[in-house]
Amino acid sequence: MRGSRCARELMGKRLESPALSSRRRKRATDKDFCRESGTQGAVPTECGEASGCKSCKGPGKTNRPERTGPGQKRKHREAVETSLLHHDQFKKGHRPGKDSLLTQDLTLLQNDCSWTKTRASFSFHKKKIVTAVSEVSNNTTTTSPPGSFLSEYSNPPVLNKTTSSAPSPWHSSSMYLLTPLKTLHVADQKASDAEKVYRECDQEGPIPFSACLSTEELESCEKIGEGVFGEVFQKTANCTPVALKIIAIEGPDLVNGAHQKTFEEILPEIIISKELSLLSDAACHRTEGFIGLNSVHCVRGPYPPLLLKAWDHYNSTKGSANDRPDFFDQDQLFIVLEFEFGGTDLEQRRKTLSSIATAKSILHQLTASLAVAEASLHFEHRDLHWGNVLLKKTSLKEVHYTLSGKTGTIPTCGLQVNIIDYTLSRLERDGVVVFCDISKDEDLFTGEGDYQFEIYRLMKKENNNCWGEYHPYSNVLWLHYLTDKILKEMVFKRKCNTSALKQIKKDIVHFHGTMLNFSSATDLLCQHSLFK
């Protein structure tokens, strides 16, 4: 436990006004929810719906002039990023209007979509930093997380590509691929980055779209989201919905007003998503609370007509802020990331959860997942607003996690929680640290109108604006924000009219009032009375 200066300030200074959206206000409610029948006091169950990298031109170079932002249908620095793993739903017949331009005055962050537009304008993927632990060490962390087995500049394991029995890279950590290659020339580093991406894809080079997605799969694809990075589609694999995030890379054309990511820039995104997904299969520190990454492919060619058809349907029914992706040529490269379908975000479910007992389960699952990631990867999420917490129905009565070899159990109340979006996140393994350097993004720390923006300022104060350092207290701050949302903005189907539910609410209120005295999610999970 701790007596943080952030805690002391927050105890005396809280934002009481109802928060306006940190993400787009979804225009839908989930239809499927139910409760277990039972005696008074029974716990209801929920059944809801499921610092700057160098830009380079890659193999997709053409003689066509580059597209420019002002000449496109809107200024893409205000691009709206929707959650890549859940479906934005709208009332039948309703089409949202185009978003107004983002002004320089970030007091307008109260506007719908404002945070996602602001994030897009900051181009955070250009600020992703990969460095050695020794270069960002502080008094908080002096050793790598338990389980790290490679030295700071150790050689990667050698795979024999000539044997069919060579192990797949998909089931083991790839953090060593991010080890700084300081002895190589720039050209060699770029070539190496491409080879590393192909290795993560388990490919020797790019493949055609048809080798990644069959005609039958393409016909079933539905666009469910978008962002400045590209498009998100949903398909069904083995009777299970999955999300496909498609990102153009290494080409000369601007995409939605932004330069395409390079191999160097996309590699950390792939590996971070993979590292957190792999926690579901770990032994000493295990959780299924981070969205699962099923596969990654690098494909080459123009956008498939069937995906353009799905794009057009989304545009005609909901409206798209992106360019129609029909201008890519035969040599364009794309990364296709397949994620599990995570469900609906907490903000969208703010009026559909059955009772306060469900909220307690959500907080417990979130805290456990963050604690496991802290122990395994020295992880800080750094942007865990309620749009990045996904909920999907589950038939499991309990979920299990393992922390330092000890297994814990959490009642689900019918919902499984998944954490998404690691754009601002920080993690380390095998002597390598990956983080987003936002130290010079002053506008990010001046937002008003939502407790979320106070959290950014408190994180900055906690780490003294040194974002490479490890300060797990940031996870406590975000859990406090989420608890605040639950107590002040969520409306439950079942009122707290039983002794059991009244006690749960009392416990959560106590959690909200005391949690800032704890040093990390691990400290909260192991020590706070809410989880006893």
Domain spans, the chain: 5-128+207-531
- Choice among 9-18, 169-178, 233-242, 283-292 with the minimum mean pLDDT: 9-18
What is the CB neighbour count within 10 angstroms for residue 334? 26
pTM of structure: 0.75
Residue 84 above 90 pLDDT?
Answer: no
Closest residue by Cα to residue 426 from 479, 377, 366, 476: 377
Q: Residue 70, class by beta-carbon neighbours within 10 Å (0-12 exposed, 13-18 middle, 19+ buried)?
A: exposed
Q: What is the pLDDT of residue 9?
A: 55
Q: Nearest 5°: CA angle at 499, between 498 and 503?
A: 115
**Tokens coding 347:** 């903000």
In degrees and rounded to multiples of 5, residue 323 shows phi and psi of -70, 145
Give the H/E segment covering residue 97: none
Annotation says 484 is catalytic: no
- Locus of tokens 């502080």: 138
**Tokens coding 259:** 């330069």
Helix orientation angle between 499-514 and 356-377, rounded to the nearest 10 degrees: 40
Q: What is the pLDDT of residue 178?
A: 78
Q: What is the pLDDT of residue 226?
A: 87
**Local confidence band at 330 (pLDDT 50, 70, 90 cut-offs):** very high
**In this structure, are residues 468 and 135 in contact, taking their beta carbons and an 8 Å threshold?**
yes
Q: What is the pLDDT of residue 168?
A: 54
- Choice among 76-80, 86-90, 287-291 with the minimum mean pLDDT: 76-80
List the end-to-end C-alpha distance of the chain, in Å, as a whole number: 16
Q: Nearest 5°: CA angle at 89, between 86 and 91?
A: 170
Residue 181 above 80 pLDDT?
Answer: no
- Average pLDDT score over residue span 245-250: 96
Q: What b/e sequence results for 237-264 when a residue is b if at least 16 CB atoms lie within 10 Å of its CB, and e otherwise?
A: eeeebbbbbbbbbbbbbbbbbbbbbbbb
Specify the CATH superfamily of domain 5-128+207-531: Transferase(Phosphotransferase) domain 1 (1.10.510.10)
Cα–Cα dist 379/389, whole Å = 16
- Average pLDDT score over residue span 73-78: 39
Cα–Cα dist 439/468, whole Å = 10
- Choice among 160-164, 249-253, 331-335, 398-402 with the minimum mean pLDDT: 160-164
Q: What is the rounded average pLDDT for all residues in the chain?
A: 78
Given strand 427-429, what is the order of strands in its sheet? 128-132, 432-436, 427-429
List, for residues 368-392, the tens digit of each pLDDT value: 999 999 999 999 999 999 999 999 9
**Tokens coding 373:** 């990631």
Percent with pLDDT over 90 in the chain:
58
Cα–Cα dist 442/266, whole Å = 25
Q: DSSP letters along 373-384, please? A: HHHHH--B-S--
Q: What's the residue count for the chain?
A: 532
**Tokens coding 270:** 């792939």
User: Which of helix, strand or coil describes residue 458?
Assistant: helix
- Choice among 16-25, 325-334, 374-383, 432-441 with the minimum mean pLDDT: 16-25
Cα–Cα dist 98/512, whole Å = 37
**In this structure, are residues 189 and 200 in contact, taking their beta carbons and an 8 Å threshold?**
no
Name the residue with higher pLDDT: 65 or 519.
519
Q: What is the pLDDT of residue 229?
A: 84
Q: What is the pLDDT of residue 180?
A: 64
Residue 358 above 80 pLDDT?
Answer: yes
- Choice among 27-31, 82-86, 404-408 with the minimum mean pLDDT: 27-31
Q: Which of 99, 345, 383, 430 is catalytic?
A: 383
- Average pLDDT score over residue span 11-22: 43
Closest residue by Cα to residue 417 from 492, 337, 503, 358: 358
What residues form DSSP beta bridges with 157?
A: none
Closest residue by Cα to residue 342 from 234, 480, 450: 234
**In this structure, are residues 112 and 450 in contact, taking their beta carbons and an 8 Å threshold?**
no
Residue 414 DSSP label = T
Q: Nearest 5°: CA angle at 113, between 18 and 414?
A: 65
List, for residues 270-282, the tens digit of each pLDDT value: 999 999 999 999 9
Strands 427-429 and 415-419: unpaired
Q: Residue 20, class by beta-carbon neighbours within 10 Å (0-12 exposed, 13-18 middle, 19+ buried)?
A: middle
**Local confidence band at 438 (pLDDT 50, 70, 90 cut-offs):** very high
Cα–Cα dist 502/496, whole Å = 5
**Tokens coding 511:** 């959690």
Q: What b/e sequence results for 338-362 when a residue is b if at least 16 CB atoms lie within 10 Å of its CB, and e otherwise?
A: bbbbbbbbbbbbbebbbbbbbbbbb
- Locus of tokens 């050695």: 132
**In this structure, are residues 287 and 368 in contact, taking their beta carbons and an 8 Å threshold?**
yes
Residue 34 above 80 pLDDT?
Answer: no
Given strand 389-393, what is the order of strands in its sheet? 344-345, 389-393, 415-419
**Local confidence band at 132 (pLDDT 50, 70, 90 cut-offs):** confident
